[in-house]
């Protein structure tokens, strides 16, 4: 029998942390002691419901009345508890859903193991050459090719940029080298001449309309060793794909500016990744880039005029392999860059990557997947069919066009609950609030609706005590000036609500049209996969309350983070995944929403709360 005074272990998944606590400690206390930041809007009073976790194994104190009030019957059955109300009674294992983790914590995922068996298109071999002498005057390139032929790679090809660097390297490395090779049916190409024993890496890029994500993957183990992100600097030329395309169409020079700004930012990310992994850009010998069709084309230097005009046709839909150096990426001079197939319209290679990583491309379930961003791509899987569409959800969920909106950084309100006649907020980093990010504004609208502060059209009720009227315009007071970090009120105006209505209306209309195309109602969905940074941080309950997502039991939803970025990493390390991507893209039936007869009605219906 276990000594009841001994400390207990609390394993926190999927963050992989362990807390060691005294019996009777709350789960919220346990997460705090291990440095895991759980959202706790009410500070542990049991009134906000934001600290939901799921018990996987072990014993907690019995369910409290507060928990019975906050959790639904299906949540209780699935093992959900409020971390602030449940005490640790034995060693326990607890699963923290993404929406219960504070944003700062969720950005710290590195070295993520992949479920995909590494099978990259490149191999490395180590060679040791005989140095040139007066009786052996073979050129360095000939010496190298003959050594490769001896190793079973006859007829090797060395492109000029690799060749230009090759002699100096071989001399400096005393005629020893690790070669990154790309064998194919006809010949073997020498991609890089590296110092003996060098590690070799691949670069996975997810080029979003608003955000960029970059991952450095060790190609021998398949492990991601560094990840980083930045805003897409093209935002300065247009917030969404339509305005970005309009700018590119001004002239060939304007299109080149967009490409150059993007590549500059990506090169900075490559440098950052290399510093983190103690590598040099020369060691990056292969790459994969995914993005929606517009981002894909602008990055690759393809024309986008046809994408901006009906019938919105891509210049290229088949997979591309280009040279990283041809787009200006500063990695190994011979490195190739694989761009997976696009589907149609704006549904591009990033959605293919997301479908691969989330498993939706292979599922036998009736399932829906949404990759929520400035442009939202949606796919419905049913009986082997995949039906997809894209909707212009705009940048409101990134905090843009919102009076006190901001990105999900320190001091941003990320969770909002209404209790005891006031809003309670949780900020990223638990700093004093200075603005509100996408998940926060969605929560604020859901809570304001439930509290009767706004009506079903989104209009604030002027007779509500928390509705202020700055400049004669009714607005909900989220945090008064006395409680903010900048000494000004944080408000939610009618205009802010309208921006969110447009975004959620576009997404919900897309969902409804896909379901109608398949002759289904939402209840038929076994699973809804929600991807993208905002998709990870949003509270599913709030998204349901505002009508953005169908009202289904919470356990049918799965928030998967940046699945497009994960898919890009899979494609980087696996030739089989590249074959699957092509098969999957070929199977997708694309629905152009702007041309769909039911879209306008569905959109107008979805605007209301």
The Cα–Cα gap between 421 and 425 comes to 13
- Residue 96's nearest CA partner among 2, 211, 5, 17 is 17
Task: Determine the interface stretch with ligand FES among 35-43, 123-131, 215-223, 391-399 (rule: CB under 6 A).
Answer: 35-43
Of 418 and 603, nearer to ligand FES (C-beta) is 418
For the segment 56-85, give every residue that binds ligand FES (CB under 6 A).
82, 84
Q: Output the smallest distance, CB 33 to ligand FES, in A.
A: 16
530, 372 Cβ separation under 8 angstroms: yes
List the one residue from 8, 19, 36, 46 that touches ligand FES (CB under 6 A): 46
Beta bridge partners of 589: 387
List the one residue from 15, 21, 30, 51 that touches ligand FES (CB under 6 A): 51
Q: Helices 563-573 and 575-587: crossing angle, nearest 10°?
A: 130
List the one residue from 27, 30, 37, 50 that touches ligand FES (CB under 6 A): 50
Of 82 and 503, nearer to ligand FES (C-beta) is 82
Could you give the string, one character per residue 310-349, with x where binding to ligand FES holds by CB under 6 A and - elsewhere? ----------------------------------------
Beta bridge partners of 215: 204, 227
* # residues near ligand FES by CB under 6 A: 12
- Residue 514's nearest CA partner among 351, 381, 384 is 381
List the one residue from 19, 30, 41, 94 that touches ligand FES (CB under 6 A): 41
Task: Determine the interface stretch with ligand FES among 45-53, 142-150, 252-260, 581-589 (rule: CB under 6 A).
Answer: 45-53
For the segment 138-197, give every residue that binds ligand FES (CB under 6 A).
none
The Cα–Cα gap between 179 and 160 comes to 16
Task: Determine the interface stretch with ligand FES among 48-56, 151-159, 565-573, 590-598 (rule: CB under 6 A).
Answer: 48-56
The Cα–Cα gap between 37 and 55 comes to 18
Q: Output the smallest distance, CB 259 to ligand FES, in A.
A: 47
Q: Output the smallest distance, CB 54 to ligand FES, in A.
A: 14
Of 301 and 429, nearer to ligand FES (C-beta) is 429
Of 47 and 376, nearer to ligand FES (C-beta) is 47
Q: Name the 3-class secondary structure at 206.
A: strand
List the one residue from 15, 30, 44, 584 that touches ligand FES (CB under 6 A): 44
* Residue 40 binds to ligand FES (criterion: CB under 6 A): yes
Task: Determine the interface stretch with ligand FES among 38-46, 270-278, 400-408, 534-542 (rule: CB under 6 A).
Answer: 38-46
Task: Determine the interface stretch with ligand FES among 5-13, 43-51, 339-347, 559-567 (rule: CB under 6 A).
Answer: 43-51
Q: Name the 3-class secondary structure at 172.
A: helix
Of 81 and 182, nearer to ligand FES (C-beta) is 81
Look at the block and give the residue holding tokens 């969720």: 106
Of 461 and 554, nearer to ligand FES (C-beta) is 554
Beta bridge partners of 228: 214
Q: Output the smallest distance, CB 48 to ligand FES, in A.
A: 4
Q: Are strands 80-82 and 527-531 parallel, antiparallel or unpaired?
A: unpaired
Which tokens is 580 given? 């699957």
Of 41 and 274, nearer to ligand FES (C-beta) is 41
Of 440 and 532, nearer to ligand FES (C-beta) is 440
- Provide the Cα torsion 79, 520, 537, 478; round to 10°: -100
The Cα–Cα gap between 210 and 540 comes to 22
- Residue 476's nearest CA partner among 488, 484, 466 is 466
Neighbour-count burial of 229, counting CB atoms closer than 10 A to its CB (0-12 exposed, 13-18 middle, 19+ buried): middle
Beta bridge partners of 417: 424
For the segment 80-109, give every residue that binds ligand FES (CB under 6 A).
82, 84
SS3 string of 426-490?
Answer: EEHHHCCCCEECHHHHHHHHHHHHHCCCECCCCCECCCCCCEECHHHCCEEEEECHHHCCCCCCE
* Residue 479 binds to ligand FES (criterion: CB under 6 A): no
253, 205 Cβ separation under 8 angstroms: no
- Residue 356's nearest CA partner among 307, 319, 397, 398 is 319
Q: Output the smallest distance, CB 159 to ligand FES, in A.
A: 58
Of 232 and 424, nearer to ligand FES (C-beta) is 424
List the one residue from 48, 124, 266, 500 that touches ligand FES (CB under 6 A): 48
Of 46 and 565, nearer to ligand FES (C-beta) is 46
39, 59 Cβ separation under 8 angstroms: no
Of 182 and 417, nearer to ligand FES (C-beta) is 417
* Residue 564 binds to ligand FES (criterion: CB under 6 A): no
Angle, vertex CA 549, rays to CA 105 and CA 526, nearest 5: 95
Q: Output the smallest distance, CB 81 to ligand FES, in A.
A: 10
Q: Which residues contact 319 (CB under 8 A, 6 or more apart)?
A: 338, 339, 340, 341, 578, 581, 582
Q: Output the smallest distance, CB 51 to ligand FES, in A.
A: 3
Q: Output the smallest distance, CB 99 to ligand FES, in A.
A: 13
Q: E strand or H helix at 531, and its extent?
A: strand 527-531
Look at the block and give the residue holding tokens 């990283």: 324
- Residue 206's nearest CA partner among 398, 350, 316, 107 is 350
Neighbours of 203 (CB within 10 A): 29
160, 146 Cβ separation under 8 angstroms: no
Task: Determine the interface stretch with ligand FES among 40-48, 208-216, 242-250, 525-533 (rule: CB under 6 A).
Answer: 40-48
Q: Output the smallest distance, CB 425 to ligand FES, in A.
A: 12
Cα distances from 375 to residues 218, 240, 297, 406, in angstroms, run 31, 7, 15, 18
The Cα–Cα gap between 293 and 290 comes to 9
Of 52 and 182, nearer to ligand FES (C-beta) is 52
Of 31 and 293, nearer to ligand FES (C-beta) is 31
Of 342 and 542, nearer to ligand FES (C-beta) is 542
Q: Output the smallest distance, CB 385 to ligand FES, in A.
A: 41
List the one residue from 29, 49, 395, 550 that touches ligand FES (CB under 6 A): 49
Of 279 and 538, nearer to ligand FES (C-beta) is 538
Give me the residues that bind ligand FES (CB under 6 A), please.
40-42, 44, 46-51, 82, 84
């Amino acid at each position: 029998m276990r000594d009841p005074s001994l400390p207990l272990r609390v394993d926190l998944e999927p963050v992989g942390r362990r807390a060691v606590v005294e019996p009777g400690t709350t789960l919220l206390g346990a997460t705090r002691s291990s440095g895991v930041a759980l959202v706790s809007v009410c500070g542990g009073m049991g009134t906000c419901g934001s600290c939901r976790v799921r018990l996987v194994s072990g014993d907690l104190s019995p369910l409290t009345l507060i928990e019975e009030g906050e959790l639904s019957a299906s949540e209780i059955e699935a093992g959900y508890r409020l971390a602030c109300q449940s005490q640790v009674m034995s060693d326990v294992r607890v699963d923290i859903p993404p929406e219960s983790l504070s944003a700062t914590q969720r950005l710290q995922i590195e070295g993520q193991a992949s479920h995909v068996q590494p099978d990259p298109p490149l191999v490395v071999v180590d060679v040791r050459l005989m140095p040139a002498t007066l009786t052996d005057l073979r050129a360095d390139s000939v010496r190298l090719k003959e050594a490769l032929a001896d190793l079973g790679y006859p007829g090797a090809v060395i492109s000029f940029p690799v060749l230009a660097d090759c002699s100096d390297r071989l001399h400096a490395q005393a005629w020893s080298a690790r070669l990154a090779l790309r064998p194919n049916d006809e010949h073997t190409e020498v991609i890089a001449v590296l110092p003996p024993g060098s590690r070799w890496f691949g670069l996975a890029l997810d080029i979003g309309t608003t955000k960029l994500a970059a991952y450095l993957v060790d190609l021998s183990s398949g492990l991601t060793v560094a990840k980083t992100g930045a805003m897409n600097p093209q935002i300065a030329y247009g917030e969404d794909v339509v305005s970005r395309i309009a700018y590119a169409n001004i002239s060939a020079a304007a299109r080149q500016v967009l490409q150059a700004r993007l590549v500059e930012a990506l090169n900075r990310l490559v440098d950052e990744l290399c510093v983190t992994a103690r590598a040099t850009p020369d060691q990056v010998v292969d790459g994969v880039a995914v993005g929606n069709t517009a981002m894909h084309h602008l990055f690759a230097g393809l024309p986008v005029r046809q994408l901006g005009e009906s019938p919105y046709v891509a210049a290229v839909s088949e997979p591309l392999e280009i040279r990283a150096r041809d787009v200006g990426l500063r990695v190994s001079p011979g490195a190739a860059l694989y761009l997976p197939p696009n589907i149609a319209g704006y549904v591009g290679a990033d959605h293919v990557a997301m479908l691969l990583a989330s498993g939706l491309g292979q599922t036998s379930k009736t399932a829906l997947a949404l990759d929520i961003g400035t442009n939202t791509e949606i796919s419905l899987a049913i009986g082997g069919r995949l039906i997809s569409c894209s909707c212009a959800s705009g940048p409101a969920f990134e905090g843009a066009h919102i009076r006190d909106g901001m990105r999900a950084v320190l001091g941003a309100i990320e969770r909002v609950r209404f209790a005891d006649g006031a809003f309670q907020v949780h900020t990223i980093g638990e700093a004093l609030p200075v603005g509100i990010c996408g998940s926060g504004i969605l929560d604020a609208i859901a809570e304001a609706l439930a509290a009767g502060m706004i009506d079903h059209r989104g209009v604030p009720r002027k007779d509500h005590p928390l509705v202020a009227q700055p400049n004669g315009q009714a607005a909900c007071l989220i945090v008064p000036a006395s409680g903010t970090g900048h000494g000004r009120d944080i408000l939610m105006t009618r205009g802010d609500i309208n921006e969110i209505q447009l975004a959620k209306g576009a997404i919900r209309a897309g969902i409804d049209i896909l379901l109608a195309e398949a002759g289904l109602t939402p209840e038929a969905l076994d699973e809804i996969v929600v991807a993208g940074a905002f998709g990870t941080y949003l509270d599913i309950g709030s998204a349901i309350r505002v009508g953005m997502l169908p009202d289904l039991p919470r356990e049918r939803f799965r928030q998967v983070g940046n699945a497009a970025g994960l898919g890009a990493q899979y494609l980087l390390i696996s030739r089989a995944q590249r074959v699957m991507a092509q098969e999957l893209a070929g199977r997708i039936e694309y629905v152009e929403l702007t041309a769909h007869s039911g879209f306008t009605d569905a959109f107008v219906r979805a605007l209301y709360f």
